[in-house]
């Protein structure tokens, strides 16, 4: 089976996850065009296909790859991966179709490294926060300036505010910066650390996770890599950063306790 390359910085989009008066959390994602381009580049336009179908009212997409894409002497043998999509706020049906396709491609391995992204927090001094009813919003655009990926894990990352060109987030040590930016301050720099040794979650630690979650709920779903359990196991520095944010009361309360219990159950079962 083929192996897909890592995403480049210019293929990764950034959006605001949550906004408070103190700053915003950012999420990394890819769009469907990136998936199509990488499929064309890796196996060829005639060696992959997609199909959409409905199951219990939910739209699914399955993506097939010809196992013998690199050997035209063999008849095609199709290997399939599928997943379900969710509607977008703009165009529900189109968004659901695109989302299911992107998820199916992630199952094939395209962009799976985005699941390992650290918790990304940008303070209000690095972006423009505006009131929106009883909440807050940020309409600034952000982009990935550079990224380092090793064994499908993000080990270094730099994000800039597209409008001001200022470096607003830095994680790890990027080998080759791609743009000239203003220096990042220590307050929004997350130091990279070696993966922490996996150890069991006991009742006391679970209770701590519950408390930290009351201050911040991590986005759940496509960006499943943004989970407390993953951070706890693999990047203790980012985990501590999230803990600090939660204790500061930044971010809304939500269904975090239930989700964390599910994560803990998955962690114990792994």
> Which of 59, 91, 108 is the last residue before a domain boundary?
108
> Which of 56, 79, 108 is the last residue before a domain boundary?
108
Domain interval for residue 226: 193-270
Number of structural domains the chain divides into? 2
pTM score above 0.75: no
Answer whether residue 239 is part of any domain.
yes
Closest CA to 113 of 153, 163, 168, 63: 153
Look up residue 183 and give its DSSP letter.
Answer: P
* Higher pLDDT pick, 205 / 229: 205
Tokens of 145: 């300036």
pLDDT in tens, 17-54: 999 999 999 999 999 999 999 999 999 999 999 999 99
Answer whether residue 201 is part of any domain.
yes
Answer whether residue 81 shows pLDDT above 60: yes
Q: Say if CB 143 and CB 127 are below 8 A apart.
A: no
User: Which whole number is the average pLDDT over 195-224?
Assistant: 51
Answer whether residue 70 is part of any domain.
yes
CA distance 78 to 88: 30
pLDDT in tens, 113-127: 999 999 999 999 999
CA distance 130 to 117: 26
Average pLDDT of the chain to the nearest whole number: 77
69 backbone dihedrals φ, ψ, rounded to 5°: -60, -25
pLDDT in tens, 182-196: 444 444 444 333 444
Answer whether residue 11 is part of any domain.
no
The continuous run of DSSP H or E covering 130 comes out as: strand 129-132
Look up residue 179 and give its DSSP letter.
Answer: S
CA distances from 165 to 10, 141, 168, 179 (A): 15, 10, 9, 9
Residue 174: the pLDDT is 77
The continuous run of DSSP H or E covering 160 comes out as: strand 153-161
Answer whether residue 144 is part of any domain.
no
> Which of 108, 134, 151 is the last residue before a domain boundary?
108
Beta bridge partners of 19: 24
Distance of CA 136 to the CA centre of its chain: 22
pLDDT in tens, 221-260: 333 334 555 556 555 665 565 555 554 444 433 345 455 5
Residue 95: the pLDDT is 78
Cβ-based burial of 123 (10 A; exposed 0-12, middle 13-18, buried ≥19): middle
CA distance 72 to 247: 59
């Amino acid at each position: 089976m083929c192996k897909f390359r890592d995403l480049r910085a210019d293929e990764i989009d950034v959006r605001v996850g949550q906004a408070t008066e103190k700053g915003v959390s950012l999420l990394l994602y890819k769009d469907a065009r990136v998936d199509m381009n990488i499929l064309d580049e890796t196996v060829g336009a005639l060696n992959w296909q997609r199909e959409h179908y409905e199951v219990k009212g939910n739209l699914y997409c399955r993506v097939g790859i010809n196992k013998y894409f690199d050997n035209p002497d063999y008849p095609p043998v199709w290997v399939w991966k599928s997943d379900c999509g969710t509607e977008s706020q703009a165009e529900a049906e189109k968004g659901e179709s695109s989302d299911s396709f992107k998820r199916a491609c992630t199952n094939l391995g395209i962009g799976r490294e985005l699941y390992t992204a650290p918790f990304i927090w940008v303070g209000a001094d690095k972006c423009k926060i505006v009131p929106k009813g009883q909440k807050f919003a940020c309409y600034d655009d952000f982009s990935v300036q550079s990224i380092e990926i090793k064994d499908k894990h993000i080990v270094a990352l730099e994000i800039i505010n597209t409008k001001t060109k200022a470096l607003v987030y830095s994680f790890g040590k990027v080998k080759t910066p791609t743009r000239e930016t203003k220096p990042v301050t220590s307050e929004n720099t997350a130091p990279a650390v070696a993966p922490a040794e996996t150890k069991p979650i006991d009742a006391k630690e679970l209770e701590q996770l519950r408390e930290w979650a009351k201050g911040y709920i991590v986005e759940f779903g496509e960006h499943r890599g943004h989970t407390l359990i993953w951070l706890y196991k693999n990047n203790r520095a980012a985990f501590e950063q999230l803990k600090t944010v939660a204790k500061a009361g930044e971010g809304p309360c939500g269904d975090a306790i239930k989700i964390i219990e599910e994560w803990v159950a998955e962690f114990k079962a792994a």
